[in-house]
Chains A and B, each alone.
Chain A
Amino acid sequence: MIGTPFRTSYWHIEPVWIFYVLAALAVLVFVYGLVTRLSVWLKGVKHQKIPFSREGIRDLVLDGLLGWRIFRGDVAAGTMHLLILWGFLALFVGTVLISADYWLGHFLRGLLYLWYSACLEVAGLMLVAGVAWAMIRRYLQRVPRLERRAEDLLVVLWLLVVGVTGFAVEGGRLAAQRPDWAGWSFAGHWVSFLWPNSNGALSAYPYLWWTHALLSLGFIAYIPFCKLFHVLAAPASIYLHNQPLQVVSVEGRGEEDVFTYRDMVSFDACTRCGRCVEVCPATGAGEPFSPRDFIAWARVNLRAKVDPLNRFGGINDPSDGKALSAGDFKTQRIWHCTTCRACLEVCPVYVSTLDAIRQVRSGVVEAGTEVPTLLSQSLKNLYKYNNPWEATKKKRAKWSGEIEIPDLTKKGEAKDLCYFVGCTTSMDTRAQDLARAFVRILNHGDVDFGTLGKKEPCCGDIARRCGEDGLFEMKMDDCLDLFGKHEICEVVTSSPHCFHSFHNEYPAYQALKDPEERISFRARHYTAFLNELLVKGVLTFDKPLPVKVTYHDPCYLGRHNRIFDVPREIIRAIPGIKLVEMNHNREDSLCCGGGGDRMWQEDMDGDPKMSEIRIWEAAATGADMVITTCPLCLIMLEDARKTAGLEDTLKVMDLNELVLLALGLDRAMDKDEERQEKKISGGG
């Protein structure tokens, strides 16, 4: 056969209308699935608009099309996914083009067609290779984070068969037609040699064609009902992840509001790839929790409630059910999450499990009947006494002992800087060392500062982490009122948690209340302030401090606020010190186990505990000290050091204490403490 190369559509396919009917049917099912999914998304709380986001577009390209986040940490998975994604995309575009060619006039002719054919060959091979690789990873290599559920097998098998039958159809056609340009369709060309003569190929061809067509159509129809729906949900989730913090005022909450639309979208974007399971500190400590299980639970519940498909008996994956049977999420498992953000760090599609969990917690807190006892007690204390620890307001300013600190709430005590000590740092005996050390450094640097004394409120972080949003708003108002009343513009915090609330959450809530008004103070964590003192030359380390230290990144300073380098720079500024890194550091740091309000709850530790896992990792570096920059980490690691039997070999110190040591001021502090201890005060 000689002539211009082109594709004969529906060659020897009769009757073509059946194909069209089936195609329409497949599209109908696909659209139905899509609509039900979208209708679930639309049930999400959406009190904020979705503004156009340039970052969103950038991430869509980087993370979506190029799969950047899939490559990160797992090149094999990234390559595999890229092969499938681009193979699939190219074949999809190819199919659109050939349809256009058929309906709109024949433009795929000659050399263009030949290149077109060659490209599709490559795409098809990429798809088949990617799918085969995926199967090898899951079923032969058995990558630990991957599950082997029925759906997982069905999806890859289906794709593989679609790909292979595609080549078979092409091979059959080429074997029957034997055109001169067959070499351009090189893969199909090879396959065509399976048929010794054109007659055999011709008789097999319609069967192959219909098989391929039915499988392809069925596959399209299946997409919205399986994890492949991520081809649509994942880009949406990626685009949305840059949106500003979604907050809903307590007043604006509806009866049934649980998740935001972003949560809803992200649940559908989840393919259960298991990266979160690998990094979740709770899962790692053997606790009955994993972000993936939570997403499954949330999705099942959403479907039970709002998915219209549920009317027809639901479309729940049985393995979802299995993930749920290991304990009750609502009453127990949601409290395991430390909100450390490790899962979000690695999730290729930005599923923010911690935000969604916060929403569920909020519902539980509002219902009230299943709030863990100790947490409930802590929240009551927080409400009445402005701290979760003790039912008294009187002790808040007692930590300073003999050190005199100006009280900004008193008349005539206006200062440039307000040191916001925080609940835990004020009340916990170990964490108080942090505050005393910081104050000594400030005094050493002649910094003009004050505290809010015993009037210092809680920043509300504890309330917000467990979803007690009304209490959070109340505490925020307390803080803003007090800051406003005493014209406080510069705040420095002990805790990354207070800093996080002030810096990231207050503005969002403020915008909700009054879009015109801005938060009128700047909050920084003490590390930023120490760094400033260092840069200004106020702090100078004269004597070398020959110790080996390792630095533990607090989740709310590091992952949540991307402050990784500043604390390390401060440590390195001390002459003679050697800073070594733990296996998990920076974005990859391991949580101490005290976040997400775990500090104020009944024990749900695994064996070993998160804090012990972390302290052993620290010990493995051979360091003399673990330095941290958060009062909660300080308490947790100090405790773990004792239970892990590392009391003699490893010290846990706050960065302030290290700096104090390097400044040679620690002696003065010891004396202070002795004086403190002599005064045994307070009755029973």
Chain B
Amino acid sequence: MDIVVCVKQIPDVTDAELDVNKDGTGIDTEDLETDINEWDNYAVEDAVRLKEALGGKVTVITLGDEDSEDVLRHALAMGADKAILIDEGGFAFSDALGIAKGLHGVVKDLDFDLLMTGVQSSDEGWGQVGLILAELLGLPYASLVVGVEPGDGQATVLRELENNTQEKVTLPLPAVLTVQTGINVPRYVSIMGIQKVRKIEIKEIDAGDLGLEPDEIGAEGSSVASIRLSLPPVGEGAEILEGSMAQICDKTAQIIRDKGGVA
């Protein structure tokens, strides 16, 4: 089973206090550490597990800057066999379609049974790239995947729905799957592991190699005219709810409903 996995490097913002950059188009990443997008990490793990069980090769692809080599090394250390880096030059301010076009340019020439990627990225969270890619490739797909069982020429896939419910569907192969967190427990990647894959060559490609016109990608190709980021109005620490017991409880009940989707 040959599998292609698309991954992305993201700034780790778990515990970070974020700030918006001067022109409001992005966040200050100076103090932030980078990591593989959490969803993609699950996708790589699942791909490697399928490979370990069924044989085949796993190829990881990312679109990013030079530093994105780190996520590729990370995936290689997890057990991927090949890695391709698409230079992000020209892709700045692309929308999901622009990014998907870049990936498509590489993926369309690869042979694979499954193309996997995370459901979404933890930075902008569009949740689109994998499925657009499926559509560009003309392949069947499933999103929010929490289980994959490859069979003869097809795969049985579990999708995560709301309220502890799952949906079982089948897809003919090749197919595209976007993987939900929790599908597995991604393995720990040790520094020793990273060092061992240091010598694997990473293939580098840029937008020109893919024959993409400048107006197809980047800000020009995007459906978004402009973007302005800001910090949401949230105070420091807990917002202490004040008022009478009844008022406090009313507020709390509302918060629980809003945030938890309690029916």
Interface-located stretch among B9-17, B83-91, B132-140, B252-260: B9-17
Residue from the list A367, A369, A473 in contact with B191, Cβ < 8 A = A473
Residue from the list A385, A471, A684 in contact with B190, Cβ < 8 A = A471
A50 within 8 A of B: no
| Residues on the B chain within 8 Å of A325, using CB | none
Q: Give Cα distance in the complex from A390 to B191, angstroms.
A: 20
Interface size class of A (residues with CB under 8 A): 20 to 34
The A contact surface, by secondary structure, is helix
Interface-located stretch among A170-178, A346-354, A634-642, A675-683: A675-683
CB-CB contacts below 8 Å: B227-245 with A: 234-238
B31, B189, B236 — most chain A CB neighbours (10 Å): B189
- Given contacts A469-B191, A471-B191, 18 further A-B pairs with CB under 8 A are A250-B191, A365-B192, A368-B188, A368-B190, A384-B12, A384-B35, A391-B14, A391-B15, A391-B16, A392-B16, A394-B17, A470-B190, A470-B192, A470-B194, A470-B195, A680-B237, A683-B237, A684-B237
Q: Could you name 20 residue pairs across A and B whose Cβ atoms are closer than 8 Å?
A: A365-B192, A366-B190, A366-B192, A368-B187, A369-B188, A376-B188, A390-B15, A391-B12, A391-B15, A392-B15, A469-B191, A470-B190, A470-B191, A470-B195, A471-B191, A474-B191, A682-B237, A683-B17, A683-B234, A683-B237
A383 within 8 A of B: yes
Closest residue of chain B to A375 (Cβ to Cβ) is B188
CB-CB contacts below 8 Å: A647-671 with B: none
- Scan A408-439; emit 1 where CB is below 8 A from any B CB, else 0: 00000000000000000000000000000000
B124 within 8 A of A: no
CB distance from B19 to the nearest CB of A (A): 12
- Scan A377-420; emit 1 where CB is below 8 A from any B CB, else 0: 00110011100001111100000000000000000000000000
| Residues on the B chain within 8 Å of A367, using CB | 187
CB distance from B173 to the nearest CB of A (A): 26
A263 within 8 A of B: no
| Residues on the A chain within 8 Å of B189, using CB | 368
Tell whether, in the assembled complex, residue B191 and residue A383 are in contact, meaning their CB atoms are under 8 Å apart: yes
A371 within 8 A of B: yes
Q: Give Cα distance in the complex from A383 to B191, angstroms.
A: 9
Q: Give Cα distance in the complex from A227 to B31, angstroms.
A: 58
| Residues on the A chain within 8 Å of B185, using CB | 373
Tell whether, in the assembled complex, residue A468 and residue B12 are in contact, meaning their CB atoms are under 8 Å apart: no
A362, A368, A383, A394 — most chain B CB neighbours (10 Å): A368
| Residues on the A chain within 8 Å of B152, using CB | none
Tell whether, in the assembled complex, residue A250 and residue B33 are in contact, meaning their CB atoms are under 8 Å apart: no
| Residues on the B chain within 8 Å of A394, using CB | 17, 31
Residue from the list B12, B16, B193, B237 in contact with A368, Cβ < 8 A = B193
CB distance from A423 to the nearest CB of B (A): 15
A251 within 8 A of B: yes
Tell whether, in the assembled complex, residue B236 and residue A682 are in contact, meaning their CB atoms are under 8 Å apart: yes
Q: Give Cα distance in the complex from A362 to B192, angstroms.
A: 10
A572 within 8 A of B: no
A513 within 8 A of B: no
B158 within 8 A of A: no
B78 within 8 A of A: yes
| Residues on the A chain within 8 Å of B235, using CB | 683
| Residues on the B chain within 8 Å of A250, using CB | 191-192, 195
Closest residue of chain A to B52 (Cβ to Cβ) is A369
Interface size class of B (residues with CB under 8 A): 20 to 34
Q: Give Cα distance in the complex from A70 to B231, angstroms.
A: 69
Q: Give Cα distance in the complex from A253 to B185, angstroms.
A: 27
Q: Give Cα distance in the complex from A640 to B190, angstroms.
A: 33
| Residues on the A chain within 8 Å of B190, using CB | 365-366, 368, 468, 470-471
Closest residue of chain A to B193 (Cβ to Cβ) is A366
CB distance from B183 to the nearest CB of A (A): 15
Shortest beta-carbon contacts, A-B, top 8: A470-B191, A368-B187, A371-B188, A391-B15, A384-B33, A376-B188, A368-B188, A470-B192
Residue from the list B12, B33, B78, B188 in contact with A365, Cβ < 8 A = B188
Q: Give Cα distance in the complex from A369 to B33, angstroms.
A: 24
Q: Give Cα distance in the complex from A376 to B35, angstroms.
A: 15
CB distance from A7 to the nearest CB of B (A): 63
Tell whether, in the assembled complex, residue A393 and residue B14 are in contact, meaning their CB atoms are under 8 Å apart: no
CB-CB contacts below 8 Å: A243-285 with B: 250-251, 253
CB distance from B152 to the nearest CB of A (A): 28
CB-CB contacts below 8 Å: B190-215 with A: 190-195
Residue from the list A369, A379, A469, A683 in contact with B187, Cβ < 8 A = A369
Q: Give Cα distance in the complex from A385 to B31, angstroms.
A: 10
Q: Give Cα distance in the complex from A365 to B189, angstroms.
A: 8
CB-CB contacts below 8 Å: A465-507 with B: 468-471, 473-474
Closest residue of chain B to A367 (Cβ to Cβ) is B187
Closest residue of chain A to B198 (Cβ to Cβ) is A251
Q: Give Cα distance in the complex from A501 to B147, angstroms.
A: 43
| Residues on the B chain within 8 Å of A471, using CB | 190-191
Q: Give Cα distance in the complex from A683 to B239, angstroms.
A: 10
CB distance from A563 to the nearest CB of B (A): 31
CB-CB contacts below 8 Å: B1-54 with A: 12, 14-17, 31, 33, 35
CB distance from B201 to the nearest CB of A (A): 19
Q: Give Cα distance in the complex from A371 to B185, angstroms.
A: 10
Q: Give Cα distance in the complex from A376 to B191, angstroms.
A: 12
| Residues on the A chain within 8 Å of B14, using CB | 391
| Residues on the B chain within 8 Å of A365, using CB | 188, 190, 192
Closest residue of chain A to B33 (Cβ to Cβ) is A384
Q: Give Cα distance in the complex from A371 to B45, angstroms.
A: 14
Tell whether, in the assembled complex, residue A684 and residue B191 are in contact, meaning their CB atoms are under 8 Å apart: no
- Scan A439-473; emit 1 where CB is below 8 A from any B CB, else 0: 00000000000000000000000000000111101
Q: A250-B192, A384-B12, A470-B194 known; A371 and B187 CB under 8 Å? A: yes
CB distance from B197 to the nearest CB of A (A): 12
Q: Give Cα distance in the complex from A680 to B78, angstroms.
A: 41
Closest residue of chain A to B238 (Cβ to Cβ) is A684
Tell whether, in the assembled complex, residue A379 and residue B192 are in contact, meaning their CB atoms are under 8 Å apart: no
CB distance from A140 to the nearest CB of B (A): 51
| Residues on the A chain within 8 Å of B33, using CB | 384-385
CB distance from A256 to the nearest CB of B (A): 13
| Residues on the B chain within 8 Å of A391, using CB | 12, 14-16
Q: Give Cα distance in the complex from A394 to B14, angstroms.
A: 13
| Residues on the A chain within 8 Å of B187, using CB | 367-369, 371
Tell whether, in the assembled complex, residue B236 and residue A683 are in contact, meaning their CB atoms are under 8 Å apart: yes
Q: Give Cα distance in the complex from A393 to B33, angstroms.
A: 10
Q: Give Cα distance in the complex from A369 to B187, angstroms.
A: 4
Q: Give Cα distance in the complex from A471 to B15, angstroms.
A: 22
Q: A368-B188, A394-B31, A682-B236 known; A251 and B195 CB under 8 Å? A: yes
Q: Give Cα distance in the complex from A371 to B188, angstroms.
A: 7
CB distance from A381 to the nearest CB of B (A): 9
Q: Give Cα distance in the complex from A217 to B35, angstroms.
A: 65
Closest residue of chain A to B237 (Cβ to Cβ) is A680
| Residues on the B chain within 8 Å of A468, using CB | 190-192
Q: Give Cα distance in the complex from A385 to B237, angstroms.
A: 22
| Residues on the A chain within 8 Å of B194, using CB | 470
| Residues on the B chain within 8 Å of A384, using CB | 12, 33, 35
Tell whether, in the assembled complex, residue B236 and residue A393 are in contact, meaning their CB atoms are under 8 Å apart: no
Tell whether, in the assembled complex, residue A469 and residue B17 are in contact, meaning their CB atoms are under 8 Å apart: no
| Residues on the B chain within 8 Å of A376, using CB | 188
Q: Give Cα distance in the complex from A317 to B234, angstroms.
A: 66
Q: Give Cα distance in the complex from A468 to B193, angstroms.
A: 10
| Residues on the A chain within 8 Å of B17, using CB | 394, 683
Q: Give Cα distance in the complex from A392 to B15, angstroms.
A: 6
A369, A385, A470, A683 — most chain B CB neighbours (10 Å): A369
Q: Give Cα distance in the complex from A681 to B237, angstroms.
A: 6
